Structure 1
Amino acid sequence: MSFKSLGLSEPLLKAIAKKGYETPSPIQTKAIPPILEGKDVLASAQTGTGKTAGFTLPLLYLLSEHPKEKYRPIRALILTPTRELAAQVYANVKEYGEFLNLRSAVIFGGVNQNPQVAAIRQGIDILVATPGRLLDLENQGALSLKRVEIFVLDEADRMLDMGFLRDIERVMNLMPSKRQNLMFSATFSKDIKKLAYSILKNPVQVDATPENTAVEIIEQRVYRVAKNKKTELIIKLISEGNWKQVLVFTRTKHGANKLCKKMVNAGITASAIHGNKSQGARTKALADFKRGTTRVLVATDIAARGLDIPLLPHVINFELPNISEDYVHRIGRTGRAGASGEAISLVSADETTYLQSIEKLTGLQIPVEIVEGFEPDPNASTEPIKQGQNRSKRQPRNSNSSSRKSNSGSHRNDNRNRNRRRNTNRR
């Protein structure tokens, strides 16, 4: 199978060849044909398997084949949960569409909206956006979605995790009912499938890989360690291994800052990236990391879906995620596009339950090692981390007291949505 045999146009084939790709990945082989036929598609694929190109290439083909008006209305909308993912998708759109007469733009919060509005007013065919900034600019009258022909919901499971259901519903109501819908994600829970079938019409379901499995080429390993020795161990592994590019995940923003500071004190160049950082700081940290100026990037799960770092060799879970599916996305930052990668998890006694959940989800028994001098505490409790659990369920600090006391799941979602709209710069 070749890209040409999929029915893509010469300008697209030229752009693909320029990037050095020769053979389509399984998700691209399965998803591109039905999209080109104009069908709705529900696609599940592991992160790092070419999912973005799986919808970007056929989308560009369809738009380039149809006549364009002198004034370019937004004809395709790609909705993503995070700024980093929006920027990554936009970069792919630009690269693959290099030899096509199509215009595109990306919008997200945390930065000045004026350049984004100016780009839209010049007329664009494709808009990549996060929900908050999209709804904000639409409410200001800066953009219209009334001419959208193709709608892509990327990383839909993450959308729900972040409480964007209401925003998605609002966006749906702003577009014409007659359109092509595509939903791509690495995982699909029952809630996601329920959402999918409320959006998609007679969809073709594409499963390139089993749900919630990790890329096979990634070498996974667990180090059992005492909780208070984690920082020393991770510094030892990075220093003695002479690792030059390491992505480290923590559970909290405070934890990311604290670990980053300790690494710098140990002589390891490091930066932190999380929701409390400005977009400028996040962009600079990621750029320095890709360039090799910074050896270690310490991140929270906000970065798990949106970071595209070619040939990233090492991912370390300094703390295991509360949500098992997030483990798949974290380690999926390595082993991308067929490259090898290593994923290491530092697991203390109180994370035992999280590890068991991850192994059940992935169907794997991850090899365990113990480093001399960093042995786990045999007397430590294996009860799940209370602080992390409470944090994941805690209401936003500026929610009213009655909302915090409510046990209603939908009520909690409403509070999160109101809080996000007050703080759009965090998207």
Structure 2
Amino acid sequence: MSFKDLQLNKPLLRAVAEAGYDNPTLVQEQTIPLVLEGKDVIASAQTGTGKTAAFALPILQLLFDKQDAPKKGKKIKALIVSPTRELAIQIEDNFKTYSKHTNLRTTVIFGGASIEPQIDVLKKGVDILIATPGRLLDLHKQDLINLDYVKTLVLDEADLMLDMGFIDDVKKIERLCPQEKQILLFSATMPYKVEQLANTILKTPERVEVTPTSSAAKNVSQVLYYVSKLNKIELCLHLLRNTIKGNILIFRRTKFGVDKLEQTLIKNGYKVESFHGDKPQSLRQEALNKFKNGYVNILIATDVAARGIDINELDAVINFDMPNVPETYVHRIGRTGRAGNFGNSYSFCSADEKAYVKTIQQLINIQIPIEEEHPYPLDPKAKPIIHKSKKTGSKHKKGRKSEASKKKKKRWY
């Protein structure tokens, strides 16, 4: 099937061809006709399946006849809600690529960046708005955004949106839009919470399912290292010196863990950038650009920060900490081995993470090969490390002042 078969108009087909795409992906083939028919859609598709174009192209087509601004200026007719700033920026890039031969105007708004330039663009009027939930509600509260004319609402990465605690915001945004509208919900996984949300806000939706979430990337060789928590850094350095080469994405569970590993690798002479939710937007974007442009070859990230970012040419993924949600493992290793290339994934498992490996293997239905030949093997009898606080209560009796505080007090008499 070609894009022409999807009934797209010439300006869009031209933009798609210029972007270097010949044939639609599976999710585009199935979703575009449904959106053009005006149906509500729930699509289960992972990053890297081309899902942004699956909603961007039909939305641009539907708005094509309404692209010239009326006297009162352009109104927001399509709203795309995205959980993270990076995803929102990426979606805007896609819309701009596909709409370059039209007069449709797109903009993106997100928190963590100056609000003034975003307000200026909104005042000029836009057709398509891409937004993160917090900033969208903030600007709506200030009466700077009018959602009364929205025809299509897209909820992208719905599972991540709910994981990040945005469920109430999403419901609120949906209520601020007109009752008669088309809703498109995209989610990499379909947990119960996402199904519940879909049932409450979508009207007899069509379902599109591409890539069952349990299928681990076929072009990725997976290997598992059992190692004690204390030796993970040593193992990581050993593999970077001897085994793992090229562009590498390392996952850690916490922001603190990301920072700690970054400092260690820099001390050891590696070119590294890090990426997590506490970093200001400008630094996150800078880290990503440095990695994409080859100034650094190692990027360390948390799952939420790295979700949905397009990084091509990735040679390896290291799971420094095993994820406690098995689907997350599939997402992580699916970052490499894309577009016909081969990739490698290396996972470090300590004694307290063994249960995670079990649930991951049940999900992907294969046994991950174990590499036993390495300098830091885990003692088979090793018990999980439980950190206990050394404090045994206050050394001062309740109600008594310490000697020091008595001395400091100046008498008033």
TM over 0.5: yes
1:254 maps to: 256
1:188 to 190, 193, 197: 190
List runs of 5+ in structure 2 lacking aligned partners: 388-413
Q: Is the 8 A contact 2:78 2:127 kept in 1?
A: yes
The separation in 1 between residues aligned to 2:142 and 2:100, in whole angstroms, is 31
How much does 1:130 deviate?
0.6
How much does 1:363 deviate?
2.5
Distance 1:3 1:219, change over 3 A: farther
The separation in 2 between residues aligned to 1:59 and 1:239, in whole angstroms, is 48
Q: Is the 8 A contact 1:304 1:326 kept in 2?
A: no
The separation in 1 between residues aligned to 2:342 and 2:177, in whole angstroms, is 41
User: Could you report, residue by residue, the CA deviation over 1:58-82 in whole angstroms, capped at 9, with x for unpaired residues?
Assistant: 1111111345432111111111111
SS of structure 1 residue aligned to 2:233: helix
Residues 1:271 and 2:273 aligned together:
yes
Residues 1:299 and 2:309 aligned together:
no
Residues 1:4 and 2:4 aligned together:
yes
The separation in 1 between residues aligned to 2:87 and 2:220, in whole angstroms, is 22
Q: Is the 8 A contact 1:186 1:212 kept in 2?
A: no
User: Could you report, residue by residue, the CA deviation over 1:159-208 in whole angstroms, capped at 9, with x for unpaired residues?
Assistant: 11111111011101110011111011111012211111212111110111
1:311 maps to: 313
Residues 1:42 and 2:50 aligned together:
no
The separation in 2 between residues aligned to 1:339 and 1:101, in whole angstroms, is 37
The separation in 2 between residues aligned to 1:212 and 1:152, in whole angstroms, is 25
The separation in 1 between residues aligned to 2:166 and 2:16, in whole angstroms, is 33
Q: How do 1:148-187 and structure 2 match up within 5 A?
A: 148-187=150-189
1:327 maps to: 329
Q: Give the aligned length.
A: 385
The separation in 2 between residues aligned to 1:343 and 1:275, in whole angstroms, is 24
SS of structure 2 residue aligned to 1:223: strand
SS of structure 1 residue aligned to 2:155: strand
Q: Is the 8 A contact 2:275 2:306 kept in 1?
A: no
The separation in 2 between residues aligned to 1:103 and 1:59, in whole angstroms, is 12
Distance 1:386 1:198, change over 3 A: farther
The separation in 2 between residues aligned to 1:184 and 1:386, in whole angstroms, is 39
The separation in 2 between residues aligned to 1:26 and 1:44, in whole angstroms, is 12
**Structure 1 stretch 266-275 or stretch 367-376: which is displaced more?**
367-376
1:94 to 93, 96, 110: 96
Q: How do 1:114-153 and structure 2 match up within 5 A?
A: 114-153=116-155
Counterpart of 1:380, as a letter, is: A
More helix by share: 1
Counterpart of 1:312, as a letter, is: L
* Pair member with larger Rg: 2
1:215 maps to: 217
The separation in 2 between residues aligned to 1:345 and 1:67, in whole angstroms, is 50
Q: Is the 8 A contact 1:223 1:371 kept in 2?
A: no
The separation in 2 between residues aligned to 1:65 and 1:338, in whole angstroms, is 38
TM-score (norm 1): 0.86
Counterpart of 1:274, as a letter, is: H
Residues 1:108 and 2:110 aligned together:
yes
Counterpart of 2:20, as a letter, is: G
C-alpha root-mean-square deviation of aligned residues, in Å? 1.7
1:29 maps to: 29
User: Could you report, residue by residue, the CA deviation over 1:292-329 in whole angstroms, capped at 9, with x for unpaired residues?
Assistant: 10111111112231311122221111101222222222
The separation in 2 between residues aligned to 1:324 and 1:103, in whole angstroms, is 40
Q: Is the 8 A contact 1:50 1:337 kept in 2?
A: no
**Structure 1 stretch 214-223 or stretch 295-304: which is displaced more?**
214-223
The separation in 2 between residues aligned to 1:162 and 1:266, in whole angstroms, is 34
**Structure 1 stretch 359-368 or stretch 137-146: which is displaced more?**
359-368
The separation in 2 between residues aligned to 1:379 and 1:369, in whole angstroms, is 18
TM-score (norm 2): 0.89
Q: Is the 8 A contact 1:46 1:214 kept in 2?
A: no
1:368 maps to: 370
The separation in 1 between residues aligned to 2:234 and 2:85, in whole angstroms, is 32
Residues 1:57 and 2:88 aligned together:
no
Distance 1:365 1:68, change over 3 A: farther
The separation in 1 between residues aligned to 2:10 and 2:53, in whole angstroms, is 16
1:424 maps to: none
1:228 maps to: 230
List runs of 5+ in structure 1 lacking aligned partners: 388-427
